[in-house]
Amino acid sequence: MTAAAIPYRYERWRRTIQQYAGLVLNVFPPFVYLLLLFYAPMALLFIMSFWKSGFMHLEPAFTLENYRAFLSNPTYLRILWNTFVIVTGVMIVLVLVGYPIAYFLARMVRRYDTLVIYLLIIPVEINYLIRIYAWKIVLGRSGIINMALMYLGLIDEPLRFLLYSRTAVMIVLIHEWLPYVVIPVYVALKGVPPEIVEAARDLGAGRWDVFRYIYLPLSVPGLFASFVLVYIPMLGEFAIPSIVGGPSGYMLGNVIESQFLAAGNWGLGSAIGFILLFVTLVLVALVIKISGIEELM
């Protein structure tokens, strides 16, 4: 009896230790990599935003000068406001445009929904700069839209607000991010168990009631996921405004980029970068608090 129990107990201990070793071996390398090449640099951004700025470098110090330079400049504050308006406006349009598509694909078709989802995923993986640039062919002064409108006799002069404008930035942002709104909502709506809907129907709920009390609340996690995936990355956009934006489409990302690569005022760039990082973290924390991290995965 005891003779058999010893190897058994030994075996159990060995298992536990192996499990633990396996866990540590798996968790440790990615943990350290991201600590060094993601979290440490992010912390550095915070610390160095208080350093004294030289040209294209920073000197250790503690100064609020960088933040003062940003907050006391009305141009920067206007761009900050512009960025907020553009990103929020695009987010609202995305939900309004994307939700019906997600609902249609998840609840109203039986066969071709995955095909359409493929069609939405494919362009996401096509080079981002190429897609931004391709919009010039559509929106440009002699682009397709102007050509078509002139051909139809609706306008005599090409519409100039289509390209190099805030409108252009918003259109391209919508193009870029629509799949990230449609797909999480589609997944959430697709996962609604049919029994719930049947039960509601049996109890006399109409089509609108089913939507209002079942589909809408159950798609909220999908909406949260798309908010995190879309709203936050959009705040840091600079390539779209650079290529199709013009002066009225200028965003905070452009200011940060030019401080780092053209103007050489890294202190100011870091301060604006940290403000953006802070907003990002607050939004992520808020969404995780409301919906839980597991819900988002």
Partner 1 sequence: MSRLKRASFWLGLYTALVVAFLIYLPILLLIIFSFNDSKIMSLPWNGFTLRWYKIAFSREDLLHALFNSLWVAAVVTVFSLILGVMAANGMAKYRYKGRSLFTGYIAIPVVMPWLLLGISLLLFFNLIKLPLSLFTVILSHISFDVPLVAVIVAARLHQFDPSLEEAARDLGASALETFRLVTLPIIAPAVIAAGIFAFSWSFDAFVVTHFVIGSQVTFPIWVWSALRFAKNLPVINAISSLIVVVEILIVYVGERLRRGEGEGILF
Those residues whose C-beta lies under 8 Å from the C-beta of residue 225, and which sit 6 or more positions away, are 184, 188, 295, 296
Minimum distance from residue 185 beta carbon to partner 1 (Å): 11
Please report, as a single letter, which amino acid is at residue 93.
V
Q: Are 125 and 206 in contact (CB under 8 A)?
A: no
- Report the residue number, 166 or 182, with the smaller CB distance to partner 1: 182
Of the candidates 114, 98, 108, 58, the residue with the CA atom closest to the CA atom of residue 179: 98
The count of other CB atoms within 10 Å of the CB of residue 252 is: 26
- Report the residue number, 124 or 196, with the smaller CB distance to partner 1: 124
Minimum distance from residue 98 beta carbon to partner 1 (Å): 9
Minimum distance from residue 226 beta carbon to partner 1 (Å): 11
Those residues whose C-beta lies under 8 Å from the C-beta of residue 274, and which sit 6 or more positions away, are 45, 46, 49
Q: Please work out, in degrees rounded to the nearest 5, the angle formed at the alpha carbon of residue 69 by the alpha carbons of 165 and 241.
A: 15
- Report the residue number, 91 or 256, with the smaller CB distance to partner 1: 256
Minimum distance from residue 140 beta carbon to partner 1 (Å): 7
Q: Are 254 and 238 in contact (CB under 8 A)?
A: yes
Minimum distance from residue 60 beta carbon to partner 1 (Å): 10
Minimum distance from residue 81 beta carbon to partner 1 (Å): 18
The count of other CB atoms within 10 Å of the CB of residue 218 is: 15
For strands 57-59 and 52-54, give the pairing: antiparallel
- Report the residue number, 245 or 257, with the smaller CB distance to partner 1: 257
Name the token pair of 58.
Answer: 């920073």
The whole-angstrom separation of Cα 56 and Cα 59 is 10
- Report the residue number, 197 or 232, with the smaller CB distance to partner 1: 232
The whole-angstrom separation of Cα 141 and Cα 136 is 9
195-209: burial string, b at 16+ Cβ within 10 Å, e else: eeeeeeeeeebeeee
- Report the residue number, 166 or 178, with the smaller CB distance to partner 1: 178
- Report the residue number, 18 or 73, with the smaller CB distance to partner 1: 18
Minimum distance from residue 206 beta carbon to partner 1 (Å): 12
Alpha helices in the chain (DSSP H): 2-34, 40-48, 65-71, 74-103, 113-124, 128-139, 144-151, 166-190, 194-202, 207-210, 216-218, 220-235, 239-240, 252-258, 266-291, 293-296
Minimum distance from residue 104 beta carbon to partner 1 (Å): 4
- Report the residue number, 86 or 256, with the smaller CB distance to partner 1: 256
